[in-house]
Structure 1
Amino acid sequence: MAQNGLYPVTYDKYANRYWKRFSSFSFARHQHLCPIVEHEVPLTAAAYPMVFRESDNWVEPVAVLSLSPREPTPFVSGDGRWLASYIPSVLRCPPFKTEQCTSRSENQMQLMVDETLGLVTGSPEHEPFFVATGELSPELKKVLRFLRARESSAFATRITCRTLQNLGLFKPLAGHEGIELPAGTLGVDFQRLNALSQPEKLTLLEAGALQLVHAHQVSLSHLAWLSIAQKQAAHTYTRKKYTENSDVSHFLSAMARARNEDDCLIGEV
């Protein structure tokens, strides 16, 4: 049974089906928080506010794409372009993702496809799911390797965050310098950080968690920018309803020019 349009990629269902590479980020327009992994932390912190959230008893770092789940992100243009300098890896996977198999070994991941995105077709001009031998096609094997690598990195990232959690370094973060953050946001307690004992600091260092702490601290400076961007995007949308030639503001379009179109393809984590 499909959940939210997700189906397991099986030979019986997809032997004669095909898939298209996505060309628009419209699917992410209403995503306000985006999970990231350790390898992405420097690039993420350079482009977005980076905070933390708790999910399934784990804490993970997330990029803030919108200051409210009710407001679309300003990082997606009206025609589906990504307007920031870095695209989080989880947004480079559509229409595929992986889910843990409950009926198999603990490390077994099931490849899933989201049919709601309109990227599954019956046309041979697109990428096949399977080859004649019943194996995944070469391109789909690349996708699966990418997803597995990302999942492995996500687990390592959660372990690093567990070190911060065990040291009591997370606290609720309702806002920063007058800018309200989405509910459930966590931040680093820098007062507690400064009070760590020498053995605790060594634990933090050995776990490789300092990068997360410093990146989070520096990235909060983007909140003011994001607040302005959302207001400008909302203003542009209002004008667009009444004028024919209006587009996203120059403030955001300048970022779009720096976005390499090749990054829309599934790449490295």
Structure 2
Amino acid sequence: MPQWIAISRTQHAEHHYQPRQGYRFAAEQPVASILLAELPKLLPHYALGFIQQGEQYQPVALLGLDGQTNLYVAPNGKWLGSYVPASLRGYPFTLANTEDGQTALCIAQDHLLESEQGEPLFDGEGRLNERVQQTLNFLQECEKSRQLTQQAAKALGDSGVIEPWPLQVERGEGQEPLKVQGLYRINETALNELSAEAFASLRSHGALALAYGQLFSMHQLSQLTERAKFHAKHQAQQPVEKAPSEPLESLFGGDDDEMVFDFGE
């Protein structure tokens, strides 16, 4: 887990930072939190589910099958897909709450540089440099959508339509199915049996899109098994640190790495 440092004009005016190079930082991340606003972009590429955090449910995209590996990250750090979840694209920056209730822009400690290598955090007039400001804007828009997403997930949880998901993934002849623990899904029968009033309440919270998105996305579990085969093939053929020989774009598409909060077509 990264150590986050709040960025300060007084303390970091002369500091630089190392921009993210690929997605190796997420190589051991089996799920990624998702936003309502990006559902149309997620559905063609990811199986979606929920994990439980305290008494709340967090909607996530499934990235791995064993709880430790992100199958969407190639050996060279490239993303194996044409859309990267928004929760990963702001790295090495994030927003965090301070002790006085404010929101601060933070950077992963190992990306903060005291030398003049990398890129400056601030310009000569003490303002965030253009790329950092762009990232901050992106994170702020993500935070607005995250709050709406949490409201939708809470409404689904309160309505009783979220249930444990005993997911088993077939691994081929002679191999035991892989069991994935800790996931939750929408109970379609319970959703369809809600009263008209309860159904309307979910609609008012934007929760129906999240519910049906999760149900429809379960057809994308094959995306995980295909990427598992890809990794197994290249681990057998070459050292992990070497890049795959095939162009990744021809296998799974190129990564959408735009730092723009626009999830339309």
Q: Structure 1-normalised TM-score?
A: 0.84
Q: 1:169 aligns with which of 153, 161, 173?
A: 161
| Number of equivalenced pairs | 256
* Distance in 1 separating the partners of 2:245 and 2:103: 40
CA distance in 1, matches of 2:135, 2:242: 39
Q: Where in structure 2 are the equivalents of 1:37-186 lying within 5 Å? A: 37-70=35-68, 72-104=69-101, 108-116=102-110, 118=111, 120=113, 122-123=115-116, 126-175=118-167, 180=178, 182-186=180-184
Paired with 1:51 and 1:181, the residues of 2 have a C-alpha distance of 15
Give deviations 1:227-259, integer Å, cap 9, x for gaps.
2421341232122249x9983678x65235x31
Q: Give the conservation status (yes or no) of the 8 Å contact 1:49–1:219.
A: yes
Which secondary structure state, in structure 2, belongs to the residue aligned with residue 154 of structure 1?
A: helix
Maintained 8 Å contact 1:127/1:139: no
Once residues 142 and 123 of structure 1 are traced to their aligned partners in structure 2, the CA distance between those partners, rounded to angstroms, is: 21
1:49-107: CA deviations, max 9, x gaps? 0001122432221000001123x222111111111121111111111011111223xxx
The Cα of 1:43 is off from its aligned counterpart by: 1.2
**Match 1:268 to one of 252, 258, 261:** 261
Give unpaired runs (5+ residues) of structure 2. Answer: 171-176
Cα RMSD after superposing both structures? 2.7
Query: Is the CA contact (8 Å cut-off) linking 2:17 and 2:112 kept in structure 1?
Result: yes
**In 2, Cα distance between the equivalents of 1:135 and 1:48?**
38
Are the structure 2 counterparts of residues 248 and 27 from structure 1 closer, same or farther at C-alpha, using a change threshold of 3 Å? farther
- For residues 248 and 222 of structure 1, do their structure 2 counterparts lie closer, same or farther at Cα, with a shift above 3 Å needed? farther
Q: Determine helix, strand or coil for the equivalent of 1:47.
A: coil
Distance 1:235 1:23 in 2: 24
Contact 1:22 1:119 in 2 (8 A): no
CA contact (8 A) 1:36 1:63 kept: yes
Give 2:103's aligned amino acid.
M
Structure 1 residues 137, 57: CA separation in 2 closer, same or farther (over 3 Å shift)?
A: farther
Tell which deviates more after alignment, 228-237 or 60-69. 228-237
Verify the 8 A CA contact 1:170 1:186 in the aligned structure 2: yes
SS at 2:43's partner residue? helix
Contact 2:81 2:254 in 1 (8 A): yes
Q: Tell me the SS of whatever aligns to 1:134.
A: coil
Q: Percent identity?
A: 23
Q: Which residue of 2 aligns with 1:259?
A: 254
CA distance in 1, matches of 2:122, 2:199: 50
Deviations 1:134-177 (A, max 9, x none): 33334322221211111121111000111111110111112157
For residue 29 of structure 1, report the CA deviation from its aligned partner: 1.3
**Matched AA of 1:194:** N
Q: Are residues 266 and 21 of structure 1, via their aligned partners in 2, closer, same or farther at CA, if it must alter by over 3 Å?
A: farther
The AA in structure 2 aligned to 1:255 is L
Tell me the amino acid that sits aligned with residue 250 of structure 2: A
Map 1:2-41 onto structure 2 (within 5 A): 4-41=2-39
Q: Which moved more, 1:38-47 or 1:221-230?
A: 221-230
Contact 1:173 1:186 (C-alpha < 8 Å) held by counterparts:
yes
SS at match of 1:48: coil
**Does the aligned pair in 2 maintain the 1:233–1:249 contact within 8 Å?**
no
Q: Distance in 2 between matches of 1:90 and 1:248?
A: 29
Task: Write out per-residue CA displacement over residues 191-244 of structure 1, whole angstroms, 9 at most, x where no aligned residue.
Answer: 2112111211222222222211111111111113312421341232122249x9
Partner in structure 2 of residue 247 of structure 1 = 244
Unaligned runs of 5+ in 1: none
